[in-house]
Structure 1
Amino acid sequence: MRTVHPTVRLAVVELRETSGPAGDSVGASTSTRGVKSTQPSRPTQRPTATQSPMDQFMPKSMSVPKQGQIDSALAKMIAIDFQTFSIVEDRGFRNYSNSLNSMYTIPSRKTLSKSLIPQLYESTQASVRERVQKATAVCLTTDCWTSRVTTSYMSVTCHFIEDFSMSSCLLDCFEFSDIHTSENLAEELLRVAREWQVDGKVVCCVSDNAANITKAMNIFKWTHYPCLAHKINLIVRDALKGMKPTVDKVKAAVEYFHRSTVGAEKLKFTQRQMGKPELRHKQDCTTRWISTFYMWKWFLESKDAIISTLAIVNAPVDALTQEEWGVEERGVQSPGTF
């Protein structure tokens, strides 16, 4: 019973004595020589039939602390992995959770968004605030960008030494719809610093080389350091100005394959016919100079297939001259000169 039905609790067995027809206890034995044994007789033990309690067959409920512990882990998973709140309504996720622990009750989407995530945010914010306030000096980094739906954002990150190692914490990331003047940038940056009580601990602030943010640092006399990666990008972009016609041709061809499904499929077919791997095209990003290098590298590795495909589909793209192909080849083979 314990092996096959481990979840069913065995009932307690009651024992009672039974006597034989002559009044002697059943089971009394004699010796082999006809002498009665002096050992006491052992009564026959019979189990009394009992009924198992009904609660043994009812589904068990999870304790409140255990339910809260799993709820917290679920909220952290959604926050860390950027999952949608609707994941708790997905049939596959619910089946998966039930297979792990059938006693766990998955919270609703409303409970997740109105209770669990806000509680996790408040507890995390309190923990980060305590860590930041213990720091004696901090460095801030800030940046502004525009999303694909043309919404502008601004973020502020704090860096400090904690237990003899560098720690970084995002203080705020918010929608910034005002005009990006130096006064508005300075106002928002100072607001975040005061909310986290680090305005008197800032030893320097790192940002890009834009004139508005540089001027904003001078308003409240913070030491400003330009971002090294941004400065390198500006240097490389300035060096590529002499190769702009060639860069524009390559970029136009890549954009054609990106937006044209017919051209992209024809390119893959041509690559297979030539026995070459189906390489995925790389697009250029103005804020990352290395993306231009990767775009040129892909373009050169797929040279024959690209030339053939553009000719077959009669794409509205200017072809590179032999000299321009040579410039690109030297640039890819020697990235230092690129």
Structure 2
Amino acid sequence: MEPLRKGEHEGFRDFVNALDSRYEIPDTTILKKKLLPEYYENVKQKLVTALSKAEHVSVTTDLWTSIANEGILSVTCHFFHNEKLIAPLLEVVKMEGSHNAENIASMLDATLSKWDIRSKCEAITTDNAQTMINAAAKLHIRHIPCFAHTLNLTMSTLASDKLRAIQRELNKPELKVIQEVPTR
């Protein structure tokens, strides 16, 4: 999870040289223009082959606003391959325009079609946002609400109610729970 230019740093080069003086760290340009694209294409072809053999898939998707105030949509696919459940991330894309059900459905449809799994998609799991529920309905794909999201909402509500009750009982000012996400 280091930047590609890490290989340009003298200390890192010395470290690698100490490990194996015969190894040459690839140039950043070669990494970006040749090695990573080749690796990506290799992995993508394996995924395309595995997806072509899958009878059924389901997807999870989420839409959020980045710190740069851009809509970001992710799509992860879930299916069995060689009797093993795998879950590759298919897309993380910037969502232009309104975050309404029509646009979300359109982007999901494009992703499912791009990977040739549209007809195999049995279910879409999302948070409980009405736009996500409506997007799944527009695609005529069964919507499954995310259990963890539902549980988190339920527990947050119960915990906040309990906190308020204790504060009232102790005649303390009612404070709110500090959320770990600035948008909540």
With the shorter chain as reference, the TM-score category is 0.7 to 0.9
CA distance in 1, matches of 2:12, 2:129: 46
Q: 1:285 aligns with which of 177, 180, 184?
A: 180
Aligned residue number for residue 145 of structure 1: 64
Number of matched pairs? 174
Q: Which has the larger radius of gyration?
A: 1
Gap change, CA 1:237 and 1:101, over 3 Å in 2: closer
Structure 1 unpaired stretches of 5+: 1-81, 252-283, 288-338
Q: 1:93 aligns with which of 2, 7, 12?
A: 12
Q: Write the deviation string for residues 195-216 of structure 1: whole angstroms up to 9, x where unpaired.
A: 1110000111100110111111
Q: Does 1:106 align with 2:25?
A: yes
Gap change, CA 1:242 and 1:99, over 3 Å in 2: closer
CA RMSD in angstroms comes to: 2.1
Amino acid in structure 1 at the alignment position of 2:44 = Q
Q: Does 1:165 align with 2:84?
A: yes
CA distance in 2, matches of 1:148, 1:138: 32
Aligned residue number for residue 215 of structure 1: 134
Aligned residue number for residue 169 of structure 2: none
Q: Write the deviation string for residues 74-104 of structure 1: whole angstroms up to 9, x where unpaired.
A: xxxxxxxx21011110111111222233233
What percent identity do the matched residue pairs reach?
A: 31
Aligned residue number for residue 117 of structure 2: 198
Secondary structure, aligned partner of 1:225: strand
Amino acid in structure 2 at the alignment position of 1:285 = E
Shift of 1:161: 1.6
CA distance in 1, matches of 2:75, 2:99: 15
Q: Write the deviation string for residues 295-318 of structure 1: whole angstroms up to 9, x where unpaired.
A: xxxxxxxxxxxxxxxxxxxxxxxx
Secondary structure, aligned partner of 2:87: strand
Higher relative CO (CA 8 A, sep ≥ 6), structure 1 or 2? 2
Shift of 1:146: 2.1
Q: 2:41 aligns with which of 104, 114, 122?
A: 122
Q: Write the deviation string for residues 223-248 of structure 1: whole angstroms up to 9, x where unpaired.
A: 11100111112222333257456442
Shift of 1:115: 1.4
Secondary structure, aligned partner of 1:145: strand
Q: Which structure 1 residue ranges, 4+ long, deviate > 6 Å from structure 2?
A: none
CA distance in 1, matches of 2:14, 2:91: 37
CA distance in 2, matches of 1:141, 1:94: 41
CA distance in 1, matches of 2:18, 2:118: 51
Structure 2 unpaired stretches of 5+: 165-172
Shift of 1:177: 3.0
Aligned residue number for residue 106 of structure 2: 187
Q: Write the deviation string for residues 16-63 of structure 1: whole angstroms up to 9, x where unpaired.
A: xxxxxxxxxxxxxxxxxxxxxxxxxxxxxxxxxxxxxxxxxxxxxxxx
CA distance in 2, matches of 1:161, 1:104: 38
Amino acid in structure 2 at the alignment position of 1:227 = C
Q: Does 1:176 align with 2:95?
A: yes
Correspondence list, 1:1-338, <5 A: 82-239=1-158, 240-241=160-161, 243=163, 246-248=174-176, 251=178, 284-285=179-180
Higher strand share: 2
Q: Write the deviation string for residues 138-187 of structure 1: whole angstroms up to 9, x where unpaired.
A: 01110012223323211101111222232111111111232101000000
